[in-house]
């Protein structure tokens, strides 16, 4: 029987490894499905935590317990991630017609349906495991359960963030992460002498490993979304797919089409509109967009040097191997974050060409902010020019689009004396302190530069009336876009709902009502854990978005950030678990420390906003989660093991975390900015501190 106890303890660790790895893979998968939109991170985490909390609550009334039943459950948890990943990929085209832009509610329901079975099971299994142990008269407390689960979570997070994400594709990652839990499940079935179940499990495991290690099968699961997949690279920075339709190749990064063959219009517009403004071109900086004909068009100006900056080396390596980037002596490919390069470079440029998608994510928005324009101007030569563009419909400019154009124009005008808008295939912003000429063909003729599209079609498409219409649509009173108050993201959020004729109000109202009902029925100790879970995940969202604003590669570091928040739980739970006196004074001290961390973050946002080393974000997450882990065994000890607090405490922690994720990552940060989100979290922790201070000894 002692061996059963050890095996169950090891299975709890294995469940943590498997579930955290699956969570991180699922986040990255949905980021790739929905164009890298960081709001997707908060939606996945919200659904994940909420469903896991519901699963924990579902275990509360369970009375029929058996080691064999537990063995079957952990085997399902080990095998299901592969099914979940296939479902996410294969059913995307069923939920969303190909080529359409899905709205908030369809994405939300798609996420919740896709991950529901797995999350309910992982939430159910922990309190169920504790009940199985206690049924067998094993000395194992709720604090021990929390501590053991934390060990598995941390192991899975570390393995994924520092090894698997760099070397292994998703399906093989699932096979590796599930191996330990599968082994424990099979041993438990063997010890229970359930040989029929054991044989069935062995067959299922064989099928699981056949498909999870099959590279051709994994590539095939992407065909519904991308069509004929020629090349597939799972980069730490994002998913790179090259697809082919007839003779045309298309490059995709995280679901966003970066380049298609023979798109000469965009190549000519983004290059010649800015470069023809200069009398002489020596040094050019291109931030993304160097695939296809672009560098060939730049070469017509005979530059001495071109720095082509692209974050992901796998993208440029793939493009070079397929001939989408032509090697040229004057071009230097630099694989780093474009904004970081601008901050660190000693070179001065005649022109900076930004060729990025619309600022629909925090990663892209950071190239359209006041802080970025200030950085860019420092590396421009006197009279140098900055060019960027956003999508635009020439025949109709909606109110939302006017807000976008106005915000970007007003932000650029803070730093450049002249900002000219040209209504090409996109709305091009040319920013310069010197003179700007709207007659592009005349400037090209002056330089004896031949073009295919601009020579023949510019005057017919970019008329004086269209330029005037675009300029007249601007509102000089529109807000400025900044790093930590991202006005463009606010507009994008509004546009998301307006485009589909929906509103976030109903969703927020339903969540608010359900939360209030849940709070009315919970113990006061559980509310402390609820508020701490809310604040911890809220802080995690703050770190994710702040990291994205500063560094721009959260897709790579999402695992490290999540792991940092998991890492503190273990030592925190150990300290709380070994504490002899489980009283409210310890809870109050931890509450004050959590408040101090939130206030510290607010001070940094409000007064400094300096670029912190990535390690600072990870240490902050560790400290926050340490206090969260410390509180769990203290609160459970106050309630008392005789009253089986595990399910209720786990549910309170998880449900609070889900509400914190939703409130900060999906609503407050996109709509109001990071400062407002921190204030909300501070108010929540003040409420829980007041409950401790003014109710004396907590009772139910």
pLDDT tens digit string along 396-408? 778 888 999 999 9
Q: Which of 22-26, 39-43, 232-236, 668-672 has the highest mean pLDDT?
A: 22-26
pLDDT for 261 equals 67
pTM surpassing 0.75? yes
Q: Are residues 118 and 160 in the same domain?
A: yes
Same domain, yes or no, for 112 and 246? Answer: no
Whether residue 153 sits in one domain with residue 272:
no
Residue 173's pLDDT is 96
Asked if pLDDT for residue 644 goes beyond 90, the answer is no
Tell me if 672 is assigned to some domain: yes
Is residue 647 very low, low, confident or very high in pLDDT (cuts 50, 70, 90)?
low
Please choose, from the candidates 60, 84, 74, 80, the residue with its C-alpha nearest in 3D space to the C-alpha of residue 12. Answer: 74
- What CATH number has the domain bearing residue 664? 1.20.1250.20
**What burial letters (b/e) apply to 73-109, b meaning 16+ CB within 10 Å?**
bbbbbbbbbbebbebbbeebeeebeeeeebbbeebbe
Q: Does 289 share its domain with 409?
A: yes
For residue 620, the model assigns a pLDDT of 94
Q: Residue 373 pLDDT > 90, yes or no?
A: yes
**Extended beta strands in 148-237, E state:** 228-235
In a domain, 491, yes or no: no
- Say if residue 550 is in the same domain as residue 612: yes
Handedness of CA 533, 538, 543, 548 (dihedral sign): positive
Considering the domain architecture, whether residues 199 and 247 belong to the same structural domain is answered as no
Provide the strand spans (E) within 607-652: none
Q: Are residues 68 and 116 in the same domain?
A: yes
> Of all residues in the chain, what percent carry a pLDDT higher than 70?
95
List Cα–Cα distances, 257 to 28, 239, 243, 659, 683, in angstroms: 17, 11, 10, 33, 42
In the block, residue with structure tokens 């470069």: 275
HSE (CB half, 13 Å, CA atoms) of 492?
Answer: 23
Percent of the chain with pLDDT over 90: 43
Confidence at 137, pLDDT banded by 50, 70, 90: low
Q: Indicate whether 377 pLDDT > 90.
A: yes
3-state secondary structure at position 62:
coil
Average pLDDT over residues 115-142: 86
Radius of gyration (C-alpha) of the chain in whole angstroms: 27
Whole-angstrom distance, CA of residue 614 vs CA of residue 600? 17
Q: Which phi and psi angles does 508 have, rounded to 5°?
A: -65, -40
Final residue belonging to a domain, choices 165, 194, 221? 221
Residue 489, in any domain of the structure: no
Cα 193 to Cα 209: distance, rounded to the nearest angstrom:
24
Do 695 and 562 share a structural domain? yes
Instruction: Note whether residue 347 is domain-resident.
Output: yes
493 assigned to some structural domain? no
Whether residue 1 has pLDDT greater than 70: no
pLDDT at 526 over 90: no
**pLDDT band per the 50, 70, 90 thresholds, residue 698:** very low
The whole-angstrom separation of Cα 385 and Cα 436 is 9
The helices-and-strands tally (H runs, E runs) of the chain is 31, 11
pLDDT per position as a tens digit, 546-594: 888 888 776 677 778 888 888 888 898 888 877 656 667 888 888 899 9
Task: Name the average pLDDT for the chain.
Answer: 87
CA distance 235 to 555: 10
Give the pLDDT mean for 94-101. Answer: 72
Q: What is the mean pLDDT of residues 152-157?
A: 90
Domain annotation covers residue 369? yes
pLDDT for 700 equals: 40
Question: What pLDDT shows up at residue 285?
Answer: 97
| Dihedral (Cα; 298, 303, 307, 309), 10-degree rounding | -10
pLDDT above 50: residue 22: yes
Using DSSP, state whether 274 is helix, strand or coil.
helix
Domain holding 251, by residue range, is: 226-256
**In the listed set 256, 271, 302, which residue is the last one of a domain according to the structure?**
256
Residues 664 and 688 in one domain: yes
| Higher-pLDDT residue of 577, 619 | 619
Q: Which helix (H) or strand (E) holds 121?
A: helix 104-135
pLDDT tens for residues 688-697? 888 888 765 4
Beta bridge partners of 233: 240
Q: What is the pLDDT of residues 245-255, one digit of tens each?
A: 877 888 888 87
Cβ proximity of 439 and 276 under 8 Å: no
Bridge partners for 240 per DSSP: 233, 253
Number of domains in the chain: 4
CATH code of residue 431: 3.40.50.150
Q: What is the CATH number of the domain that holds 134?
A: 1.20.1250
Same domain for 378 and 266: yes
Q: Judge whether 2 lies within some domain.
A: yes
Whether residue 494 lies inside any domain: the answer is no
Paired strand residues for 427: 390, 423
Classify strands 331-334 and 305-309 as parallel, antiparallel or unpaired.
Answer: parallel
Looking at the structure, tell me whether residues 120 and 143 fall in a common domain: yes
Q: Are residues 209 and 237 in the same domain?
A: no
Q: What is the pLDDT of residues 38-82, one digit of tens each?
A: 788 888 988 998 899 889 888 878 777 788 889 999 999 999 999
């Amino acid at each position: 029987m002692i061996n059963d106890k050890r095996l169950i303890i090891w299975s709890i660790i294995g469940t943590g490894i498997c579930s955290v790895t699956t969570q991180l893979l699922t986040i990255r998968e949905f980021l790739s499905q929905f164009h890298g939109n960081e709001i997707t991170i908060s939606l996945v985490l919200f659904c994940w935590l909420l469903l896991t909390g519901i699963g924990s609550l579902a275990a509360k009334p369970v009375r029929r317990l058996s080691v064999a039943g537990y063995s079957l459950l952990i085997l399902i948890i080990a095998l299901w991630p592969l099914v979940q990943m296939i479902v996410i990929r294969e059913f995307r085209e069923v939920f969303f017609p190909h080529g359409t832009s899905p709205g908030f509610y369809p994405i939300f329901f798609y996420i919740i349906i896709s991950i529901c079975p797995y999350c309910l099971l992982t939430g159910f299994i922990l309190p169920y495991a504790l009940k199985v142990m206690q049924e067998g008269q094993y000395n194992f407390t709720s604090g021990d359960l929390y501590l053991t689960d934390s060990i598995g979570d941390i192991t899975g997070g570390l393995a994924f963030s520092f090894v698997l994400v760099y070397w292994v594709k998703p399906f093989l990652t699932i096979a590796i992460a599930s191996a330990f839990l599968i082994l424990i499940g099979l041993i438990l079935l063997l010890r229970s002498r359930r040989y029929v179940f054991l044989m069935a499990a062995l067959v299922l495991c064989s099928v699981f490993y056949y498909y999870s290690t099959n590279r051709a099968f994994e590539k095939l699961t992407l065909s519904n979304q991308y069509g004929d997949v020629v090349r597939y690279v799972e980069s730490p920075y994002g998913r790179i797919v090259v697809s082919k339709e007839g003779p045309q190749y298309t490059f995709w990064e995280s679901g966003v089409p970066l380049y298609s063959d023979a798109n000469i219009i965009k190549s000519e517009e983004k290059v010649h509109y800015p470069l023809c403004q200069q009398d002489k071109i020596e040094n050019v900086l291109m931030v993304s967009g160097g695939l296809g004909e672009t560098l060939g068009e730049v070469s017509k100006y005979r530059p001495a040097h071109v720095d082509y900056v692209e974050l992901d080396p796998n993208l440029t390596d793939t493009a070079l191997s397929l001939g989408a980037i032509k090697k040229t002596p004057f071009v230097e490919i630099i694989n780093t974050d474009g904004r970081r390069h601008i901050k660190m470079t000693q070179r001065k440029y005649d022109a900076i060409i930004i060729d990025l998608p619309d600022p629909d994510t925090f990663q892209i928005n950071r190239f359209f902010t006041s802080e970025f324009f200030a950085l860019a101007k420092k590396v421009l030569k006197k009279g140098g020019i900055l060019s960027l563009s956003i999508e635009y419909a020439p025949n109709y400019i909606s109110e939302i689009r006017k807000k976008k154009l106005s915000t970007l124009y007003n932000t650029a005008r803070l730093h450049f004396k002249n900002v000219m808008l040209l209504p090409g295939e996109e709305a091009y912003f040319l920013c310069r302190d010197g003179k700007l000429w709207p007659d592009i063909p005349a400037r090209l003729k002056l330089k004896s530069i031949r073009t295919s599209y601009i020579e023949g079609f510019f005057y017919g498409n970019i008329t004086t009336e269209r330029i005037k219409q675009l300029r007249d649509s601007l509102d000089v009173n529109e807000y400025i876009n900044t790093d930590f108050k991202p006005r463009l993201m606010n507009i994008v959020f509004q546009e998301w709902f307006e485009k589909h004729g929906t509103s976030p109000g109903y969703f927020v109202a339903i969540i608010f009502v359900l939360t209030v009902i849940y709070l009315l029925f919970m113990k006061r100790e559980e509310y402390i854990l609820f508020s701490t879970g809310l604040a911890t995940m809220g802080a995690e969202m703050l770190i994710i978005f702040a990291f994205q604003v500063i560094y721009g590669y959260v897709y790579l570091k999402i695992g490290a950030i999540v792991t940092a928040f998991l890492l503190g739980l273990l030592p925190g739970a150990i300290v709380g678990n070994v504490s002899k006196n489980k009283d409210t004074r310890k809870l109050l001290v931890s509450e004050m420390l959590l408040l101090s961390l939130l206030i510290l973050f607010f001070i940094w946002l409000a007064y400094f906003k300096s670029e912190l080393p990535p390690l600072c974000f990870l240490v902050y997450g560790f400290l926050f989660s340490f206090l969260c882990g410390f509180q769990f065994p203290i609160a459970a000890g106050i309630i008392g093991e005789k009253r089986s607090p595990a399910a209720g405490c786990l549910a309170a922690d998880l449900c609070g975390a889900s509400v914190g994720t939703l409130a900060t990552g999906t609503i407050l940060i996109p709509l109001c900015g990071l400062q407002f989100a921190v204030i909300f979290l501070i108010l929540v922790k003040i409420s829980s501190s007041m409950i401790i201070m003014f109710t004396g000894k907590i009772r139910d």
